[in-house]
Structure 1
Amino acid sequence: MSYHQLHRRDFLYQSLLTGACALGAGRLAAEERKLPVLGQGKFRYRPVASWGVLDERTPVKNCSAMVVDARGRIYLLTDHCANNVIVYDRDGKLLQKWGTRFPGAHGLEIVKEDDREVLFITDLNLHRVFKTTLDGEILMELTYPKSTGKYANEKEYRPAWTLNLPNGDFFVLDGYGKDYILRYNRAGKLLDYFGGPEGGIAHWGPHGGVIDTRGPGEPELVIAMSDQQTIKRLTLEGKLIEEISLPGSNPRMIQIVGEHMFVPHLADNWPKDRESKGYISVLDRDYKIVSNIGGTAPRYVNGKLQPMSQQGGFFRHPHDLVVAADGAIYVPQFASGNTYPVKLVPEV
């Protein structure tokens, strides 16, 4: 394939991200049909043109996280303080927006709590974790864990994400600060902490992840170790179970869908190459990659995964994802030119 072909493909992909106003609706639809399907095997997807693109009244900056509520509404978290939370319907139409106080909005989780759903938001700049209603009322605000003795001041604490247990306990991943993993109860009382440099957690490590309750044993913490290009499996007490190497990756978050895990990678050579781009991996129950959406096909030699890379130019920097009940994938992107999220639908 020639450079000209690759350059044109990148232009078409980025036109899809930004709405492609210059192409016009008819031409855009025609060009979209020409784009190759992303992924391999049973996990192949096609982009949806202009999904979620809004006007200047609803701006975004870095789009860092997305969740779906029980009614199917899709919540986007951005660090633009005109509207930190943007709520879409499945067609990408604006339903609601709120939030003007989260300049470092980064991680977002949705949790069923008694008869309602609540949101957990982490803010890198405010050095805090917030629990809110779906409409933005703040229910709890957690500052830095001074009692641990690990932090000289709040500026050393930059929480990336929360992972939440069914009983209301939750873990905070201090992935931009000192790399500790802290466990709190539902009321916000610190129960335990582990990790950090003395606990074998390297810096720029615990960014996001999931609590795996698929069994048959006890629940596990599965942590996306970003710049370390690994996934760590830990007990809820922080004991290492296994470390999975993912060369050519930068895992930022994890979602479990049935027997598979979906993992967005910020880029394939980050932070060495800030211009490198990302993709999404799908892992099976044994942590073997079965598809790279927007990336090279996974290849194993003598059971060892070979370095992966972005392919095709569709994604910039995937930072999170949410797989909806109908199989569609919604992907917010960080440091990607103030672009809105993208939507992919399964190829049938």
Structure 2
Amino acid sequence: MNKALLSLAFLLNAFNGSAEDTWKSNPNWLVLPSSKEKLGNMHGDVATSSNGDLYLSVGDAKAGLQVYGDDGTWKRNLPNAPSDLHGFVIRTEGEEEFIYGARVNAGEVLKMTLEGKTVLKITASSIPDEFKRKGKNGKPLVRLTGADVAQNGDVFVTDGYSSDHIHRFDKNGKYLNSFGGKDAPYGFRTLHKLVLDHRFEPARILGMDRANNRVVHMSLSGDFIGVVREGLLLPACVHVHENWAVIGELRGRVTILDKKGEVFRQIGANAQKDEIGTNRTPPSKWRNGIVTAPHGITCNAKGDIFVAEWSTTGRVHRFDRILSPDVTTERKELFNGKNLDGWKIPSGNDQVGWYKAERGTLALRSGPKKKGSVLWTQRDYADFEVDFEFRFVDGVIDSGIHLRNSDQIQIGISGSLKRDMTCSPYIPGKGYPVEAKNVSQLLKEKDWNQMKIRAVGPNYTTWLQGQEVMNYKSGSAKKKGPIGIQLHGNRNMKIDFRKITVTEL
């Protein structure tokens, strides 16, 4: 196939004639340090931290884990990082982020800080021999290929190059149990990598059953739930972002699945059989936006996709998340920082001062009678994203953002539950059907917090400090309506908002 046809095929894959998100290749994004001519041998993974930095594992004894900024410039090498991190993730715990990684050659699981300090090491000797495959020398063998951590600290690691078992440890590294393997009902053939899939409640394990060309779900206790998708091209790596599972396929493609397992998009497809599924495709055959052997994959907070190739030279793709041309992408101010223009001011506000513009801040204050109210936009909105910052000032905070009607994303203490439910949906008649994840670790009680809410049809998604924390599909959502900021009644509270913007989708 010639280059023109390949380019056309890529465009047809990327732009599917729908006003929905898609991705565009950002070529030559990565900038190597002046001392390096190439990244080096790559057979690992890639992950992003909360500040947008990209962590990339490379088979280099002196630079096993390299850190690049969002602009692609090299920042540093992680000290003491091993050169055989085959699969790793970055997860937030409290106020700190940690790397959880599987060492394929050493047979270890490591937990490290972003400064390179090892705080937990789990060795192969912790795993019972009955769950190991025997090597050529007759001795028990593990070759660990991927790892992730549950919210309670339990660590899950797959032995994808050996027994295909998943091993579970507690937060202190104590062995708990093993499941999976090559026998029924699992029947795995290279369970290459895994992630914890928090799109579901309770969370599930999403596994890449590579040689079976399928993606599978399991419970955290090891029950085989079922096949998510079959007929893929050696699925090797996965990252869950919003409602999508973004999957890198070793035979030259990236497939994005929705929560039901249906194909949402396919990008980077490579039709040249001599280039895919190998780590020896030379740079002379590389083409922008066309992958050869995806081995690691991640997304940043914006949904840009990063693909780490299996390559002796080393290569990382970046696909920037964009919207179709017929979708408005302009972010507009909802609050100008000076007055309440564009809002329907509640009757009595001039006397009591529930809502005031003060030096760029929208100040919400309970009145002497503690009467509740909602500040509504004058305009109605259909599908949108609203971004803003908020700060708890004083009192028992009970506020929220109304989405076209009485459906609301809570900010502060729930009056019914008597505990903080920030970022969770409050649905009249149902209460709080789901609870946002990791909010207690992310929320700053006396400082500014950044929140984003996306409302697309009945689907609500919230982010806190750039981290996705909640997905919910509402049965009471309206197609169009105003956006509201609530000041709950019967409270004595002060909360501030600023930088309130909206993007219509």
- The corresponding residue for 2:382 is none
Q: How many residues align?
A: 298
1:204–1:227 Cα contact (<8 Å) kept:
yes
1:111 aligned onto 2:91: yes
Q: How far apart, CA to CA, are the structure 2 residues paired with 1:279 and 1:70? A: 27
Q: How far apart, CA to CA, are the structure 2 residues paired with 1:117 and 1:187? A: 17
- Extract structure 1 runs of 4+ deviating beyond 4 A: 4-7, 35-38, 152-155, 309-313
- TM-score if structure 2 supplies the norm length? 0.54
Q: How far apart, CA to CA, are the structure 2 residues paired with 1:313 and 1:259? A: 23
Q: How far apart, CA to CA, are the structure 1 residues paired with 2:102 and 2:42? A: 14
Q: Per the alignment, in what secondary structure is the counterpart of residue 237 of structure 2?
A: coil
Match of 1:197 among 182, 203, 223: 182
2:205–2:220 Cα contact (<8 Å) kept:
yes
- The corresponding residue for 1:14 is none
- Taking only the aligned residue pairs, the percentage that are identical comes to 21
Match of 1:243 among 227, 246, 252: 227
Within 5 Å, which residues of 2 pair with 1:110-259?
110-144=90-124, 145-151=126-132, 156-202=141-187, 204-215=189-200, 217-259=201-243
Q: Per the alignment, in what secondary structure is the counterpart of residue 54 of structure 1?
A: coil
- The corresponding residue for 2:257 is 283
1:68–1:322 Cα contact (<8 Å) kept:
yes
2:100–2:149 Cα contact (<8 Å) kept:
no
Q: How far apart, CA to CA, are the structure 2 residues paired with 1:90 and 1:201? A: 39
2:191–2:210 Cα contact (<8 Å) kept:
yes
Q: How far apart, CA to CA, are the structure 1 residues paired with 2:63 and 2:72? A: 16
C-alpha distance 4-85 of structure 1, shift in aligned 2 (>3 A): closer
1:316 aligned onto 2:286: no
Match of 2:28 among 32, 43, 50: 50
Shift of 1:55: 4.3
C-alpha distance 138-258 of structure 1, shift in aligned 2 (>3 A): same
User: Deviations along 1:55-96, whole A, 9 cap, x unmatched?
Assistant: 463442115211111222111111222201111111101111
Shift of 1:331: 1.1
Shift of 1:179: 0.7
1:339 aligned onto 2:339: no
Shift of 1:199: 4.9
Between 1:144-153 and 1:181-190, the stretch displaced more is: 144-153
Q: How far apart, CA to CA, are the structure 2 residues paired with 1:342 and 1:70? A: 20
Match of 1:328 among 293, 304, 323: 304
Shift of 1:162: 0.7
C-alpha distance 119-49 of structure 1, shift in aligned 2 (>3 A): same
Runs of 5+ unmatched residues, structure 2: 271-275, 278-286, 324-505
User: Deviations along 1:224-257, whole A, 9 cap, x unmatched?
Assistant: 1111111111111211111134314111222222
2:205–2:218 Cα contact (<8 Å) kept:
yes
Give the residue type in structure 1 aligned to 2:308.
P
Higher relative contact order (CA 8 A, sep 6+): 1
Q: Per the alignment, in what secondary structure is the counterpart of residue 326 of structure 1?
A: coil
Shift of 1:333: 0.6
2:65–2:83 Cα contact (<8 Å) kept:
no
Give the residue type in structure 1 aligned to 2:174.
K
Q: How far apart, CA to CA, are the structure 1 residues paired with 2:229 and 2:258? A: 15
- TM-score if structure 1 supplies the norm length? 0.77
User: Deviations along 1:280-326, whole A, 9 cap, x unmatched?
Assistant: 11111210112111239xxxxxxxxxxxx999971111112211122
1:224–1:252 Cα contact (<8 Å) kept:
yes
User: Deviations along 1:11-58, whole A, 9 cap, x unmatched?
Assistant: xxxxxxxxxxxxxxxxxxxxxxxx847524334322212111314634
Q: How far apart, CA to CA, are the structure 2 residues paired with 1:220 and 1:250? A: 21
- The corresponding residue for 2:326 is none
1:83 aligned onto 2:83: no
1:105–1:124 Cα contact (<8 Å) kept:
yes
Larger Rg over CA atoms: 2
Q: How far apart, CA to CA, are the structure 2 residues paired with 1:63 and 1:194? A: 26
Q: How far apart, CA to CA, are the structure 2 residues paired with 1:67 and 1:193? A: 26
- The corresponding residue for 2:78 is 98
Give the residue type in structure 2 aligned to 1:240.
F
Within 5 Å, which residues of 2 pair with 1:8-87?
36=11, 39-41=14-16, 42-55=20-33, 57-58=35-36, 59-62=39-42, 64-87=44-67
User: Deviations along 1:103-147, whole A, 9 cap, x unmatched?
Assistant: 422111112223211111211111111111111111122111443
C-alpha distance 312-60 of structure 1, shift in aligned 2 (>3 A): closer
Q: How far apart, CA to CA, are the structure 2 residues paired with 1:210 and 1:36? A: 29
User: Deviations along 1:200-224, whole A, 9 cap, x unmatched?
Assistant: 4445432122222233x42211111
Q: How far apart, CA to CA, are the structure 1 residues paired with 2:83 and 2:204? A: 32
Q: How far apart, CA to CA, are the structure 2 residues paired with 1:328 and 1:124? A: 28
Query: Quick check: which one's strand share is greater?
Result: 2
Q: Per the alignment, in what secondary structure is the counterpart of residue 320 of structure 1?
A: strand
2:81–2:116 Cα contact (<8 Å) kept:
no
Q: How far apart, CA to CA, are the structure 2 residues paired with 1:141 and 1:128? A: 7
Q: How far apart, CA to CA, are the structure 2 residues paired with 1:210 and 1:185? A: 16
Q: How far apart, CA to CA, are the structure 2 residues paired with 1:176 and 1:228? A: 14
Q: How far apart, CA to CA, are the structure 2 residues paired with 1:200 and 1:56? A: 51
C-alpha distance 235-248 of structure 1, shift in aligned 2 (>3 A): closer
